[in-house]
Structure 1
């Protein structure tokens, strides 16, 4: 029989009564060195400092009749190596039982006196983690980060600060459940400078979130100035044409006020948007709208396309709102990065429409052209008159 035991923080005091009985009755104990160093009294000296599933299985094959205990920190059901080992044990016909432990989530919850039932739980232990994306998709809930390896609460706080979330309230819990337990409270910006113990976790609260709604914010929701802006109806249609997905990498070339960039960023909370603009007054507006809508996954790229596009990551989709006469070069740059990128080009002038069709054709794509002719009412005494906006063409490509 093999028993998988969650040891909580790794101290005997937080071991469950079931876990204690199982440990003291085992004739072989396997686990990480740190856990083996803190076993309760009355346990066998037959101990193996192993944690990789392959090594554990090899050890168990050497002692097929052993009553073995396998140790895991925290709880066996919370980002634990137990989840990987259990199916392997069953595949080899080894019967196993699981005795859960006290997780770091429970320990932090108890330490700060708040329930954890509504927290979003995320692992940044030995895996890539985008803390800003996790917070932006948490729908206002606190976000708990299990950390470890190169990712510490401080590095996560630094990433949040870089993404514009430095004012979020943060709590770092170190050595929870041990005599060395320590809690640090502050903003993500402030706690980014903390030196954290190896056994640390992070809770992010009170994150300011962008508005979540269908594409097409009202025009007057944006800070505009004198820079031309893609209108509400056109923005909604463009996002539909681009078929934006939550994890997409997106370009907005000729971003203007950043209205399309903001819509793209909110539609792809786990992705990233690169707003390319060369006019200084437009760049200032993009920054302001980024802050107003809390579009923290939006980066402003100041410069002229296609020159500044070379250093950008490959896009999943590209909106082209202005190229200053370099339509072919911009399309070439986008499709060179990703031949399957979804493109949507907006045009007012017939010459721009012609250039867009030709640029797509050069890559073997058939252009689909949609004309949007939008009229809006304005009051005239007791009457309401329709006033037409300039017709807009949206051009997308489909490979033959």
Structure 2
């Protein structure tokens, strides 16, 4: 029998009675060095300092005489825990989960913040897209992971003009030397904190997030660079069928209107706005700040050459190809074959390239082609006339992962 035990935030007083009883019964205890120290008062059996799943499974295999073993983890085993996936390595064992108190829950209770209304994210070993979250959420709680994480987050808040976000950091939670620090981002931008600290961001005036696509054109910072208009953008994004984890290329991004909306949809994904014009790059950067799209990466260059160092996409929007459509498709397929493509076509020359595309890739022959004609009302004296916009053809093909 193997117990997966959540040991709480660190102080033995926060250990549950069930966890203490399981530790007393066990023939061996396995876990990270820091967590094992908590177990000394409850077990005098062999301790193994180890946290990698494969190595833990190997220890158990080498000691079949252990009738009961405990694998211990900080906090709770169900919240950003090393216990995730451990059961798969314990085939043949009876696995019994033992819940613990997460440091986040301890911290939020200390601050009287209702955690069911708080978005919880982790920076442990990964980059978290928290700007777009705090823009639309009152509370965001972050597991930091490094001593520099707090100041990096606060510098980013300042870069996105969020200097009024309230910041609270909890260090060494539940220990005698526990410390709670509160202030504004400017006060934390040079501060190093304990790597295992927890941060709460509070936005007292969060924006209301739209459920559907279609940011008004007037909301974007615009110049002389072309922009995908609202109605075409809505249809194009619908055809892309993005998920929250999508990795998106926007090739020929212009002012970045498609990139911005895609980034706001893909809160756990990444968007790469590829643009060759200097003014376009500047506008995308400014719109990125305006909309808090911190998961949007701006790439200056010409496709396909500038795509080489980017991660493989799941979805690609092509607003402009500079006559190199086939080269771009070939380059993307070298990274990943199963990709969802959506194109906006305004010229007959590009439409002609679509036929070449079908010949090169037979699987794209059943692509969907929709032509959209938009007319906008315009006042003329006492009357209102409908003024036609340029027709746009939306071409969709390819399916992510074969779906």
Who is 2:146 aligned against? Answer: 152
Aligned-pair CA distance for 1:286: 1.8
Counterpart of 1:143 (choices 140, 146, 158) is 140
Taking the aligned partners of 1:284 and 1:131, their CA distance within structure 2 comes to 24
Q: Cα RMSD between the aligned structures?
A: 3.8
Shift in CA distance, 336/6, structure 1 to aligned 2, threshold 3 Å: closer
Taking the aligned partners of 2:126 and 2:330, their CA distance within structure 1 comes to 32
Shift in CA distance, 193/166, structure 1 to aligned 2, threshold 3 Å: farther
**Cα deviations across residues 129-171 of structure 1 (Å, max 9, x unaligned)?**
3321596399515233345xxx326337526755955845433
Question: Quick check: 1:342 aligned with 2:340?
Answer: yes
**Cα deviations across residues 159-190 of structure 1 (Å, max 9, x unaligned)?**
67559558454332211111211223345676
**Cα deviations across residues 77-125 of structure 1 (Å, max 9, x unaligned)?**
544566767898895358x684x54431233124434343322333455
**Cα deviations across residues 229-264 of structure 1 (Å, max 9, x unaligned)?**
222221112112222222221122222222222222
More divergent stretch after superposition (227-236 vs 210-219): 210-219
Shift in CA distance, 175/375, structure 1 to aligned 2, threshold 3 Å: same
Shift in CA distance, 8/351, structure 1 to aligned 2, threshold 3 Å: closer
More divergent stretch after superposition (258-267 vs 31-40): 31-40
Question: Quick check: 1:119 aligned with 2:113?
Answer: no
Which aligned pairs between 1:350-389 and structure 2 lie closer than 5 A? 350-364=348-362, 365-366=364-365, 367-389=367-389
Gaps of 5+ in 1: none
Give me the TM-score of the superposition, normalised by structure 2.
0.78
Taking the aligned partners of 1:225 and 1:107, their CA distance within structure 2 comes to 49
Question: Quick check: 1:62 aligned with 2:65?
Answer: yes
Who is 1:205 aligned against? Answer: 202
- Contact kept, 8 Å, 1:131 with 1:159, in 2: the verdict is no
Q: Which structure has the larger Rg over C-alpha atoms?
A: 1
Shift in CA distance, 236/4, structure 1 to aligned 2, threshold 3 Å: closer
1:276 partner SS: strand
Which aligned pairs between 1:288-327 and structure 2 lie closer than 5 A? 288-327=286-325
Shift in CA distance, 62/353, structure 1 to aligned 2, threshold 3 Å: same
1:132 partner SS: coil
Who is 2:278 aligned against? Answer: 280
1:395 partner SS: strand
Shift in CA distance, 56/292, structure 1 to aligned 2, threshold 3 Å: same
- Contact kept, 8 Å, 1:153 with 1:172, in 2: the verdict is no
Who is 2:261 aligned against? Answer: 263
2:284 partner SS: helix
**Cα deviations across residues 178-214 of structure 1 (Å, max 9, x unaligned)?**
1211223345676464433354223333296684332
1:292 partner SS: helix
Who is 1:129 aligned against? Answer: 126
Shift in CA distance, 62/250, structure 1 to aligned 2, threshold 3 Å: same
Counterpart of 1:253 (choices 243, 251, 254) is 251
Taking the aligned partners of 1:261 and 1:178, their CA distance within structure 2 comes to 45
Shift in CA distance, 353/160, structure 1 to aligned 2, threshold 3 Å: farther
Taking the aligned partners of 1:307 and 1:3, their CA distance within structure 2 comes to 52
Taking the aligned partners of 2:97 and 2:220, their CA distance within structure 1 comes to 58
Who is 1:234 aligned against? Answer: 232
Shift in CA distance, 360/215, structure 1 to aligned 2, threshold 3 Å: farther
Who is 2:180 aligned against? Answer: 183
Taking the aligned partners of 1:40 and 1:371, their CA distance within structure 2 comes to 71
Aligned-pair CA distance for 1:388: 0.9
Question: Quick check: 1:173 aligned with 2:170?
Answer: yes
Taking the aligned partners of 1:273 and 1:214, their CA distance within structure 2 comes to 18
Who is 1:74 aligned against? Answer: 75
- Contact kept, 8 Å, 1:145 with 1:203, in 2: the verdict is yes
Taking the aligned partners of 2:260 and 2:73, their CA distance within structure 1 comes to 44
Taking the aligned partners of 2:275 and 2:58, their CA distance within structure 1 comes to 55
1:354 partner SS: helix
Aligned-pair CA distance for 1:389: 1.0
More divergent stretch after superposition (238-247 vs 85-94): 85-94
